[in-house]
Amino acid sequence: MTQEQIKSTIENMLGSFMEQNAFELVDVEYVKEGSNWFLRVYVDKEGGIDIDDCSRVSEFLSVQLDEKDPIPDAYFLEVSSPGAERPLKKPQDYFNALNHHVFITTYEPIDGAKEFEGLLVSFDGESLTVQAGKKESSIPLAKVASARLAIVF
């Protein structure tokens, strides 16, 4: 099973459970670290997720995974919050991040830079604008390699 197939399978398993509990599935990762595989599921909800919420998701998903057994390898299941520097993956994530501080990397340089940190001032579904001081950078979504909220100290 490819990483995308695993992600899709987990999303389908969690779909109605997440809706019923007003949880949001932020991301699913299936990665190998050393000799171990990890299935990481990041969840959130309005007002923030806590350890009890993560436990409920983990218990539900564990039962589903045991019943359907879609992943042939042995792995460790981890369910957690995406953290304060939450990744921005879906278009809705960018809309939710408007007027927040973000850190963006691109696949190729835009105006000579591949890293942008500042206030996300606009997003139209196809491109975003990050303002750092008086400079604004327009970045096509297709060129974004990674994006996350950023904490300002």
Same domain, 101 and 74: no
Same domain, 25 and 76: yes
What domain range is 49 assigned to?
A: 3-80
CA distances from 104 to 29, 39, 89, 128 (A): 20, 25, 11, 10
Residue 13 confidence class, pLDDT cut points 50, 70, 90:
very high
Same domain, 24 and 53: yes
**pTM across the whole model:** 0.80
| Total domains, the chain | 2
Q: Calculate the average pLDDT of the chain.
A: 93
**Residue 89, SS3?**
coil
Give per-residue pLDDT as tens, 15-68.
Answer: 999 999 999 999 999 999 999 999 999 999 988 899 999 999 999 999 999 999
Compute the distance between CA of residue 122 and CA of residue 105 in angstroms, rounded to an integer: 17
Answer whether residue 24 is part of any domain. Answer: yes
**In degrees, to the nearest 5, what angle opens at C-alpha 124 toward C-alphas 118 and 127?**
60
Same domain, 10 and 72: yes
Same domain, 39 and 73: yes
Same domain, 60 and 28: yes
**How many Cβ atoms are within 10 Å of 76's Cβ, its own excluded?**
10
Q: Which of 51, 80, 109 represents a domain boundary (last residue)?
A: 80
Give pLDDT, residue 32.
92
Give pLDDT, residue 47.
87
Give per-residue pLDDT as tens, 85-135.
Answer: 999 988 999 999 999 999 999 999 998 999 999 999 999 999 999 998 899
